Amino acid sequence: MFAYLEGKIDTVDERSAVIDVGGVGYRVFVTYPTVQALRGVEGQVRIHTHLAVREDAWTLYGFLDPRDLEVFRVLLGVNKIGPALALKVLGEIPVDELVRAVQAENESVLTRVPGIGAKSARRLVLELRDRLSGIGTGAGGIQTPIAGSDAAADAAAALVALGFTPREAADAVEAAVSESPGADLQGLIRGALARLRRG
Banded model confidence at residue 11, pLDDT cuts 50, 70, 90 = very high
Q: Which of 74-78, 92-96, 144-148 has the lowest mean pLDDT?
A: 144-148
Statement: residue 141 has pLDDT above 50: no
Determine the pLDDT at residue 139.
30
Is 107 inside a domain boundary? Answer: yes
Task: Show the domain range for 72.
Answer: 66-131
Determine the pLDDT at residue 152.
78
Residue range 124-147: average pLDDT? 60
Banded model confidence at residue 120, pLDDT cuts 50, 70, 90 = very high
Q: What is the CATH number of the domain that holds 50?
A: 2.40.50.140
Is 139 inside a domain boundary? Answer: no
Statement: residue 1 has pLDDT above 80: no
Asked if residues 155 and 189 have their Cβ atoms less than 8 Å apart, the reply is yes
Statement: residue 147 has pLDDT above 50: no
Is 138 inside a domain boundary? Answer: no
Question: Is the pTM here over 0.75, yes or no?
Answer: no
Determine the pLDDT at residue 145.
30
- Mean pLDDT, all residues of the chain: 84
- Residue where one domain finishes, among candidates 63, 91, 108: 63
Determine the pLDDT at residue 144.
29
Note every long-range contact of 94-98, with CB atoms under 8 Å and residues 24 or more positions apart, other chains counting.
94/33, 94/184, 94/185, 94/186, 94/187, 95/65, 95/67, 95/68, 95/71, 95/135, 95/142, 95/184, 95/185, 96/136, 96/142, 96/145, 96/151, 96/184, 96/185, 97/184, 98/71, 98/132
Q: What is the CATH number of the domain that holds 177?
A: 1.10.8.10
Is 136 inside a domain boundary? Answer: no
